[in-house]
Structure formats: structure tokens, C-alpha cells
Structure 1
Amino acid sequence: MTYDPEQHHRRSIRLPGYDYVQAGGYFITICTHDRTNMFGEVVDGEMQVNAVGEVVCAEWFRTAQIRPYVRLYDDEFVVMPNHIHGIIWIINDDVGATRRVAPARRVAHRVGATRRVAPTDPPRGPASGSIGAIVGQFKSIATKRINALRGTPGAPVWQRNYYEHIIRTEDALQRIREYIATNPLRWHLDRENPDEW
């Protein structure tokens, strides 16, 4: 079997040219690795979250505690058996503006000689304070806690990417909030539900 670079090239699903650090609402969907049901089950149209799902809930809402420019609301989040839906509000785009400055050289702690770490040019990964950085940190911390709980160090929990939609109107916000609230009622119709394949 030969390596085909086109087959392994990941196309970005982000909006080209959009600054994902700016203030606003972002509807986020994150699926589990291989869409495995691991967060609980839907019973009679209601999500019954298990211990792993409780970790996901706790870490989602902890995001707003560790990032003062983020707001999250109970009625804008749902854990499903193999994915989550939520709205992340970035409320202060001044925070993002200050985070976009070029990184200064950092000096490591002295161990013998002074070591310097050269800045990466261009920077790798999502911009600090961006939706990508917020989602990445959430996924990382939740994964560590879930794997500690299950005794599965290093096991994947999430798909590599996530889906995001920029909320631009009040009508869109209301439709998304309703979609989130009624998601468990539609689980039997969900194409991501392996029980329905």
C-alpha cells in the first residue's frame, strides 16, 4: 500500500479569514472517538449521564471558571451518548486582541547554562483565547480525567476535530438553543447513533 498525501491531508472546516478570538457566540459539537457511546444513554427521550458524562459536564462548565472571557449557560449545553453540543460565548474581544501579540522569547529555568526557546514562526496550533484553543484545552483536560477514571491512560476519547457554527442572529440563537434542548428526544433519529445504523 502506498502513501497518498491527498488522502491524508485534512481540509480545514473553519471559516477562512474569520478571527475566532473575537467576541460572539459559537455553537460547538464535539464527537467521541469512533463515535463510541461512552457518556451514558438516552432513556425515554432523556439523557442519563454516567460517571464519564459527569466528567464531561464538569469540565465544560469549568472552562468558564478558568477563562474569565468565556460564558457558558446550562440551557445551552447537552451531553449525548457519543457527542456534546454547547454554545461558547466569548464576551471580551479586548482579551483576544492582547493575546494576538507576537510571543516574546522565553528563557527556561537555569540548569547550568541559560537556555532560550526560539519563537515559532508561524505559530503552531490555535491562537490563544480562540475557540480552537478553548475546545482544545477542554478536550485535553476531559480526556485526562476520563482516562484516569476508566484506567485507560492514553486512550483516545474525542474525534480529532470539532464542528463549530458562528451565531450571527437572535433567530439562529433561538433555533440552536431549541436544537440543544430537544436533542435527547431525537436520539433515535440521530445519524450519529450507532444503535440506529
Structure 2
Amino acid sequence: MPPGETLFITYRLHGTVPFAILRQLQEEHDWLIQQNSREDESLEVAKKRLEGRYFVSFDQYIDTCRSGADWLKNEEIAELVKQSLHFGHTTHYHLHAYCVMPNHVHVLLTVLCEDMPFYKILQRLKTYTAVRANRLLNRTGQPFWQSESYDHAVRNEKSFKRIVNYILQNPVKAGLVTDWEDWPHSYCQYE
């Protein structure tokens, strides 16, 4: 991602979504693309247009999922993730908002670093937190984060505001709190 690009990123704990559910969500997404692609657009364009729907379905599942890993409920681990996000603020990226949920993380940031691609920054964040979190959990040699993550380039101010709201309201929609400000693992620096 080039410097100056604003990204909405979601990454989750390893094993939070069973393979059968992943396959079902992907099949539903593929069906939607086939049903909703227009004659004047390619499948790639249709995929891009419907990407948000897939993400919302996926995110609703992980918000309500009561099985699988939920290590981010551990206060020390949640703090570790938050500190690691703040560590890169102003050097590699400008951190606008985040929410650390029990099994996943939402982040909104603007890339600042020219000499390191953002995927490398995310890889370092995930590696650093995985090693330390696994140590806290007395786990060795086991994956902590799912290898893939979801990212979406933010194109305009309206989308930016919608995503900030989405991130902050995530613990409310998941039934964890009634007001986003009551969730201890949310952050927003919105100018």
C-alpha cells in the first residue's frame, strides 16, 4: 500500500471460524457475485462491488461466535495488542481507530512508511503479539493469528466516518457493552 493510503483492516485469532462455515460463507459470496454481476461488468468488478457484503456476513459470524479461541478476552493479551498498535503510530502509520474484540481486531490507519510495505508491518505486528501472547498462555509452536486478514482501502470521507462508527460500535453490536465508550479496548483519534 502506498504512503497516504487509508486502510480498514480486520485480523482474527487462529481457528475462530470452522472450515465448514468458511466454505459456506464463500459459497454464498460466490453465488451472490454470480446473481448480481451485471452484463456490463467483469466478475472481478462484481467481486469488488460485493466484497463489503461478504465482510459484514463474516464479521457478524465472528462477533456472535461462542466457540473457538477468545484469547483477546485476556486483559494482558488485549493490552499487548493495543500497545503494539500504538507502537507503530506516527512512524509506520497514523492510527485513527481500533477495537480489540475477544477473537478479532479491527483497525483503521493511514500508511506513512515508504520503505516498508504495509503487509510487512502487519506481519511484524502479528508475529510480535503472537510470540508474547503464546508465552502468556503457556503455548509453544502453535499459531495464534489466522494467516490471512481482511483489508479495504478507504476512498473518501463518508466511507472513513462509516468505518470509524463500525469499529466503535462493534462491541455494542456483539452485545458486550451498551455504549462503545464502555469497551476498554477501543480507541479513536478522529480529527
The aligned counterpart of 2:166 is 179
SS in 2 for 1:34: coil
**Unpaired stretches in structure 2, ≥5 consecutive residues:** 17-68, 177-191
What are the residue-to-residue correspondences of 1:1-197 with 2, within 5 Å? Answer: 20-35=1-16, 36-40=69-73, 50-64=75-89, 68-73=91-96, 76-91=97-112, 95-96=113-114, 99=115, 129-188=116-175
Quick one: distance in 2 between partners of 1:153 and 1:82? Answer: 19
Structure 1 residue 149, shift from structure 2 partner: 1.4
Structure 1 residue 152, shift from structure 2 partner: 1.0
Quick one: distance in 2 between partners of 1:176 and 1:86? Answer: 9
Q: Which has the larger radius of gyration?
A: 1
Quick one: distance in 1 between partners of 2:78 and 2:92? Answer: 25
Structure 1 residue 27, shift from structure 2 partner: 0.4
Structure 1 residue 57, shift from structure 2 partner: 1.0
**Unpaired stretches in structure 1, ≥5 consecutive residues:** 1-19, 41-48, 100-128, 190-197
Higher-helix-fraction structure = 2
Please give the per-residue CA displacement for 1:34-62, whole angstroms capped at 9, x wherever unaligned: 1121111xxxxxxxx62211111111111
**How high is the sequence identity, in percent, across the aligned residues?**
27
Structure 1 residue 171, shift from structure 2 partner: 0.2
Q: Is the 8 A contact 2:3 2:110 kept in 1?
A: no
Quick one: distance in 1 between partners of 2:175 and 2:142? Answer: 28
SS in 1 for 2:174: helix
Aligned alpha-carbon RMSD (Å): 1.8
TM-score (norm 2): 0.60
Structure 1 residue 188, shift from structure 2 partner: 4.6
The aligned counterpart of 1:112 is none
Please give the per-residue CA displacement for 1:97-152, whole angstroms capped at 9, x wherever unaligned: xx3xxxxxxxxxxxxxxxxxxxxxxxxxxxxx222111101000000110121221
Alignment length, in residue pairs? Answer: 124
